[in-house]
Amino acid sequence: MNRGLRAVLWDMDGVLVLSGELHYEAWTRVLAEHGLSMTRGQFEETFGMNNHNILRRLYGHRLGAAEAHQIATRKEAAYRELARGRVQPLPGVREWLARLSEADWRQAVASSGPMANIAAILQELDVWDAFDAVLSGARLERSKPDPTLFLQAAAALGVPPARCVVVEDSTAGVEAARRAGTRCIAVTTTHAPEPLRAADLVVDRLDHLPQDAFDRLVPEEGL
């Protein structure tokens, strides 16, 4: 790994785009087809985890592997249908992607969502070219707060975790960043500030970040 490089590892839902309501609508629609339900509280508690771990936490042994896979697959297809033409980048996203690229930061998407979802959203937003790597944690045995996805993203970029900044909106994601040994900026799009206090910096919107926010967390080598 090149220790002179710096990187930003972006979560997607709640960071690049506000899509929580679309996910909740997809979950409730598909679970109802199977005689199941998800409360708003359960959705908020598990947001940021992959589907395997969400279903295991909420329904345990009530679901067999085949039915759980069917629900997860159908839910993500429903989400992509709902998202088409309805998503916009959150304030400050385009500006920060461009500014960081100009300053030679490497950038990756590290989302718990399936790769098909990530691809659909990045295409909708027209921001594919901003990223040097795109990773999905959907097939990982352990999802956030496990640090594996962020460690994989750092490795894909060739940047040590200590020189990476994770941008997250979920408590699970902030904890995953902490465990990975990265710095972390949390955005309060889906959670109040207090549950995100383990992050290095908590902000309500990315366009409210100071212009030197990333540089202060990971200074340029030699400064």
Q: Looking at the domain assignment, is residue 151 inside a domain?
A: yes
Q: Is residue 2 part of a domain?
A: no
Structure confidence at residue 77 (pLDDT): 94
The mean of the pLDDT values for the chain is 94
Are residues 52 and 69 part of one domain?
yes
Q: Are residues 30 and 126 in the same domain?
A: no
Do 78 and 105 lie in one domain? The reply is: no
* Whether residue 101 is found in the same domain as residue 59: no
pLDDT tens-digit profile of 154-181? 999 999 999 999 999 999 999 999 999 9
pLDDT at 2: 77
pLDDT at 48 over 90: no
Overall domain count for the chain: 2
Domain boundary among 64, 83, 102: 83
Which residues are registered as beta bridge partners of 17? 13, 89
Rounded to 10 degrees, what is the CA torsion of 27, 30, 33, 36?
-20
Q: What is the pTM of this model?
A: 0.85
Residues 33 and 69 in one domain: yes
> Does 222 fall in a domain?
no
Element (DSSP H or E) covering residue 7: strand 7-10
pLDDT at 50: 85
Residue 45 confidence (pLDDT) above 70? yes
Residue 215 has pLDDT above 70, yes or no: yes
Catalytic residues: 11, 13
- Where a domain ends, among 83, 106, 133? 83
For residue 223, tell me if it sits in a domain.
no
Confirm whether 60 is domain-assigned.
Answer: yes
Q: What is the spatial distance between Cα 150 and Cα 217, in angstroms, rounded to a whole number?
A: 17
Check whether residue 211 and residue 109 sit in a common domain: yes
pLDDT tens figures, 101-124: 999 999 999 999 889 999 999 999
CA distances, 204 to each of 84, 116, 188, 217 (Å): 26, 28, 5, 18
Q: What is the CATH number of the domain that holds 32?
A: 1.10.150
Q: Is residue 116 a part of any domain in this protein? A: yes
Exposed, middle or buried: residue 222 (CB in 10 Å: 0-12, 13-18, 19+)?
A: exposed
**Residue 168's beta-bridge partner residues?**
186
CATH classification at residue 140 = 3.40.50.1000
With pLDDT > 90 as the criterion, what percentage of the chain qualifies?
A: 83
Residue 222 confidence class, pLDDT cut points 50, 70, 90: low
Range of the domain at 61: 20-83
Q: Are residues 163 and 195 in the same domain?
A: yes
Q: What is the pLDDT of residue 19?
A: 85
Q: pLDDT of 2-35, one tens digit each? A: 778 999 999 999 999 988 899 999 999 999 999 9
